[in-house]
Amino acid sequence: MNPLSLLLVPRARASLPLPLRTFAPAPNNTRAAVASRLEPAPARRQRARLSSLVSAVAAEAPPSPSGGDEEDGHRFDWLDQWYPFAPVCDLDPGAPHGKTVLGLRVVAWYDRATDEWRVFDDACPHRLAPLSEGRIDDKGRLQCVYHGWCFDGRGSCKFIPQAPALGPPVHKNSKACVAWYPSVVQNNILWFYPRADAEHRNVLQRKRPPFIPEIDDPSFVTVYTIRDLPYGYDVLVENVMDPAHVPYVHKVWIGDPAITALGPDMGLIGRLHNKEDPEDMPPALVEFILLNGSDDSFSSSCSSLHHS
């Protein structure tokens, strides 16, 4: 099932088979047909893929009562958002990095020519080999591991090793380009916007990624963690990130029933604050204490970090 079918609001019917839909209606006239054929191949592929994802989402969305959010213009658009790719400190500027976000396979790499991180489709336009399996060549370009095609920071093909040096410049053909996505580093995190059409290239002027001031605040300690989990975002939000369940599901009696140990591999214990707690703490706040001998602690439900 398409991953986007699980991102629906409200009550997506995930158990139903996903109906297939065409990407777009056929052109109504010859001029439209010619324009469609002349559109660069990466843009056509990216448009078709996103249209497929959006069509799948629309197919499973229940009809909204009384017009619902669509008529008010408030329906949440999953593709009109910025998504974190990874903390920059976890990215090696000397190699490409692949991820799948919202069903899109993308690759991030560092463009030395502009000193910026780039996010591309993770598929070479030649034979669709993953660009994340490639390398950064000696000129700072993204090079495909299959046949050595090289691309600059805007997805343009700059070199095809098999093309005759005195022959036509086939690398300049639009079909040799890779679709690229707007990207920016903010809060030491690489973000990208999952639309590669030309009209979205200046999306930063209209919309920026969420800003988290605590990450840039030197009085806070920031710890970046990335972990692959075998379930969807809904289970993550409703269960794993629910601090109120921790003292009961993961309880280990060590003298104080309000203390829970989360395992030696995590190296911390948590204390649940309840209504009868004399401290000035909201109920259901879990305060975690590191077991490494330091005085560090942090509270889960308000996502703050402090020193005790």
pLDDT in tens, 102-155: 889 999 999 999 999 999 999 999 999 999 999 999 999 999 999 999 999 999
Model confidence at 237, in pLDDT bands (50, 70, 90)?
Answer: confident
CATH of the domain at 150: 2.102.10.10
Residues 183 and 118 in one domain: yes
pTM of the model: 0.62
Domain end point (choices 18, 50, 72):
72
CA distance 112 to 5: 37
Domain end point (choices 162, 180, 213):
213
Residues 208 and 87 in one domain: yes
Token duo for residue 190: 């690489």
Q: Kindly compute the dihedral angle of the four CA atoms of residues 202, 204, 207, 213, in this order, to the nearest 10 degrees.
A: 180
CA distance 55 to 22: 8
Strand, coil or helix: 306? strand
Model confidence at 25, in pLDDT bands (50, 70, 90)?
Answer: very low
On the question of pLDDT at 160 being above 60, the answer is yes
What mean pLDDT, rounded, does the chain reach? 73
On the question of pLDDT at 211 being above 60, the answer is yes
pLDDT of residue 216: 92
Residues 17 and 41 in one domain: yes
Residue 218 lies in a domain: no
Give the DSSP H/E element, type plus range, for residue 100: strand 97-101
* Better-predicted residue by pLDDT, 275 or 201: 201
On the question of pLDDT at 256 being above 90, the answer is no
pLDDT of residue 77: 92
Model confidence at 287, in pLDDT bands (50, 70, 90)?
Answer: low
pLDDT of residue 278: 57
pLDDT in tens, 51-88: 555 444 444 444 444 444 454 567 889 999 999 999 99
Residues 27 and 57 in one domain: yes
* 3-class secondary structure per residue, 165-217: CCCCCHHHCHHHCCCEECEEEECCEEEECCCCCHHHCCHHHCCCCCCCHHHHC
Model confidence at 224, in pLDDT bands (50, 70, 90)?
Answer: confident
On the question of pLDDT at 280 being above 50, the answer is yes
Cα distances from 298 to residues 93, 187, 264, 269, in angstroms, run 32, 20, 17, 11
On the question of pLDDT at 257 being above 60, the answer is no
Residues 56 and 28 in one domain: yes
Strand, coil or helix: 101? strand
Residues 17 and 92 in one domain: no
Residue 221 lies in a domain: no
Domain end point (choices 72, 100, 119):
72
On the question of pLDDT at 275 being above 50, the answer is yes
247 Cβ neighbours under 8 A, 6+ residues apart: 257, 258, 259, 260, 270, 271, 272, 286
* pLDDT mean over 269-285: 56
Domain containing 66: what range? 3-72
On the question of pLDDT at 294 being above 60, the answer is no
Residue 43 lies in a domain: yes
Residues 300 and 240 in one domain: yes
Domain count, the chain: 3
Instruction: Specify the DSSP class assigned to residue 63.
Output: P
